[in-house]
Structure 1
Amino acid sequence: MTSAAGEPPTHNTPAALALGFLTGAVIGVSLTAFISGCVTERAPLIIVGLVLPAVYGFLFFLSTLPRRAREAAVVPRTALAVIESREVVGGKTSDVPVRFELSVVPDDAPAFRVEIRQDINLVELPDYRARGVVVVEYPPDRPWNTRIVKRPTPEWEERAVVARVDSVPGPAMKSDSPEGCAGGLLTLLGLLLGAAAVLLLFRADLFDSYEGENALSRRPSVSSSSSTTAVTSAMGTVTLGPGQSMLDEGELRKAVESLTQGANKPRALTVVVQDRLLTVVFAPIGVESAGFDPRSLPYDRVPGLVEEARTGVGSPQSWQLAADGVTGSLTLRVVVTGDGGTGTLEADGQGKVLRRSGS
């Protein structure tokens, strides 16, 4: 007699569709919230993106706990079955998935026909030939979850050897019912709506962040390199950061003024200027006639003097300007070294070239 057991549950029931939609919404909200939080630097959004999936998974686990407990409490029924057909459906490992169509004939229940899919070792595959009798187990309330018992008890193994099982007519129940496209579409719809909800709620923060980044990208680039200043009673130095040079407009003047601040304007015996380094040797305190005021240097002429001294030296590698006022009159001496030699010139305190030489 053929079983009248119910068909396996489908994936397109209202509850399953609602669950798919809710799952998609949770994925969309959590993913969008996490990304939006990273973009806008808002910690609550990042936390929501991380916590929401965990909470949803925990609630789903709790909601399915009673059903799984009921299913676990059902004692499986053992029966004999005849293999109507078998088909290897894939796999490249030692255990391959095989689709079986079985006629199951329990001792004290109606017989039924079922199609299952189970992994079988390649070595044992010849034992599961068509029209062969095997031992199976299945939950009485879910016969579509039938499984072949690979290692039955000696009693059932002996029965399978000597028994003759007839085929059960009619269509076979399938353990894997087709999902259809409705569930997938609802999951996708939930994902899109969840993402749209987060973007709609926090659109102001996201757009402000985007506009702020654009404004920064349109702003002219300004070197953020800083200079280092060290001053003692005898000497002061200013070291520029990467990307800066004493030949830049106003840079030398600013460096000198940073060393000559205060009520007592120190006088200098020697000022040495290199590309990124300024060194000022101060005159002894109390000696008014010694040295010169470093602020009187012809700042505007320094780049021109360096350019004139580098003529004929090839590609310049280093330069130095030394201002000396020990003898009374201010003298500037510029030395530029390149791969083609060294160029030297002397100028007065106004930046007028007095003599020039090269080697």
Structure 2
Amino acid sequence: MTITTSAPPARSTPVAIALGFLTGGVIGASLAAFVVGCVIESVPLCVAGVGLPAVYGLLFLLAGAPRRAREAAVVPRTALAVVESREAVGGAATSDVAVRFDLTVAPDGVPAYRVAFSQDIHLADLPDYRQGVVVVVQYPPDRPWRVRIVKRPTPEWEERAADARLDSEPGPVLVSESSEGCGVGFVRLFGLLLAAAAVVLLFRADLFDGDASDKPQVSSSSTSTSAPSSSSSSSSSMVVSSAYGTVTLGPNQSFLDRGQLRKAVGLLTKGTEARTALTVVVQDRLLSIVYAPTGSQAPTFDRDSLPYDRFPALVEEARSGLGVSSPKTWQLTVERLTGSLTIRVVVTGAEGTASLEANGQVKVVRRTPAR
């Protein structure tokens, strides 16, 4: 047999590049699917993100089984070798340590050659592999660079190693563990990014649908017929029942904003039967309407007829003209319990509580300064 002393075949072959792209694609798609599934709360997508690498790994294992069977069927060649150098390249966290060996292998009847490889060696056995020591090795005949030191050779080979004197071979040095080419690493990264982007684009409507995020969240009591819908942290939420209705604004919003209050009342009215109100209470980000029970004779009013556009000016007058220099909270209440429509604004600050009352034409009829 003639040993070819060229380096092991490069791994940046078309098959290796295709495999690298496929591996990167599986990694990128599974990670993106799991993250997107968590964001949009899709259990099947999360399961797919976890299951895809497992399925790919199983298929890869099964596809490589025939090759591994053929390699295992090859009878390894046994030879003597002399240690040219050694270097520990792994930590000693366990009793074994990874050692980088440089050997001259001298098979029977064929030219000697140099090879470099790594192998785990027990710490107590390291002195047995010092420079110049002859050892027994094995390797597949068709892959001479895959050399392994035989730690417990047969008595015959152990006796031959003890009596042998081998000369060093100048080279070239075969490398047992051939590193990946740059092409494989590049296509793997490209496949990862491409697959991740494809998953995000496929579910972009669920992730970035701005229209859905602007819709109010509707949670209903047992007497409500409204169905829940999703909302973002910056949108409003709404609760509707036969007895009351509330709208809560998200951060950076206020019912003092132009048109905001009338819009919220419209949301409560839309899709529901016409009901008169007993009380309307407005705070900075909370609107509450209490409805009159069916058949009730209590004094009510039409919630859609209120002068909502004039309420912000009324609140501003109460906040700035009643002796509260730094009002912390305010509340506007509309009711008709006394027979006529009454609009009352109460503000609270460090100086105390102040209030004003206005009639149905938003004309102030009473002011109570802070005290």
**Gaps (5+ residues) in structure 2?**
217-233
Separation in 2, partners of 1:281, 1:237 = 6
Separation in 1, partners of 2:256, 2:145 = 86
Q: Aligned residue for 2:310?
A: 301
Contact 1:255 1:278 in 2 (8 A): no
Structure 1 residues 266-285: Cα deviation after superposition (integer angstroms, max 9, x where no partner): 5x6x5352312434474994
SS, match of residue 310 in structure 1: helix
Which of 102, 106, 123 is residue 104 of structure 2 equivalent to? 102
- CA shift, 1:23, in A, is 2.1
Separation in 2, partners of 1:253, 1:91 = 69
* AA aligned opposite 1:149: V
Matches within 5 A, 1:84-103: 85-88=84-87, 90-93=89-92, 95-102=97-104
Separation in 1, partners of 2:214, 2:255 = 21
Which of 65, 70, 82 is residue 73 of structure 2 equivalent to? 70
- CA shift, 1:61, in A, is 0.4
Separation in 2, partners of 1:158, 1:25 = 50
Q: Aligned residue for 1:112?
A: 112
Q: Does 1:278 align with 2:279?
A: no
Q: Does 1:184 align with 2:181?
A: yes
For structure 1, which segment, 168-177 or 328-337, has the greater mean C-alpha deviation from structure 2 after superposition? 168-177
CA gap 1:178/1:133 in 2 versus in 1, 3 angstroms:
closer
Which of 327, 345, 351 is residue 340 of structure 1 equivalent to? 351
CA gap 1:56/1:174 in 2 versus in 1, 3 angstroms:
farther
- CA shift, 1:348, in A, is 2.6
- CA shift, 1:239, in A, is 1.5
**Gaps (5+ residues) in structure 1?**
none
CA gap 1:149/1:221 in 2 versus in 1, 3 angstroms:
same
CA gap 1:132/1:198 in 2 versus in 1, 3 angstroms:
closer
Separation in 2, partners of 1:76, 1:50 = 37
* AA aligned opposite 2:318: A
Which of 292, 310, 314 is residue 319 of structure 2 equivalent to? 310
Q: Aligned residue for 1:152?
A: 153
Superposed CA RMSD in Å reads: 5.1
- CA shift, 1:241, in A, is 1.6
Separation in 2, partners of 1:304, 1:352 = 11
- CA shift, 1:65, in A, is 3.8
Q: Aligned residue for 2:229?
A: none
Paired residues in the alignment total 329
Structure 1 residues 113-151: Cα deviation after superposition (integer angstroms, max 9, x where no partner): 543434444443333344444344455665554443333
Contact 1:274 1:320 in 2 (8 A): yes
CA gap 1:28/1:340 in 2 versus in 1, 3 angstroms:
same
Contact 1:29 1:195 in 2 (8 A): yes
Scaled by the length of structure 1, what TM-score is found? 0.65
Separation in 1, partners of 2:69, 2:355 = 94
- CA shift, 1:342, in A, is 1.6
- CA shift, 1:317, in A, is 3.4
CA gap 1:8/1:326 in 2 versus in 1, 3 angstroms:
same
- CA shift, 1:304, in A, is 2.3
SS, match of residue 240 in structure 1: strand
- Give the % identical residues: 34
* AA aligned opposite 1:88: E
SS, match of residue 27 in structure 1: helix
Q: Aligned residue for 1:167?
A: 166
* AA aligned opposite 1:102: T
* AA aligned opposite 1:226: S
Q: Does 1:242 align with 2:249?
A: yes
Structure 1 residues 319-341: Cα deviation after superposition (integer angstroms, max 9, x where no partner): 34444545544444332222222
SS, match of residue 336 in structure 1: strand
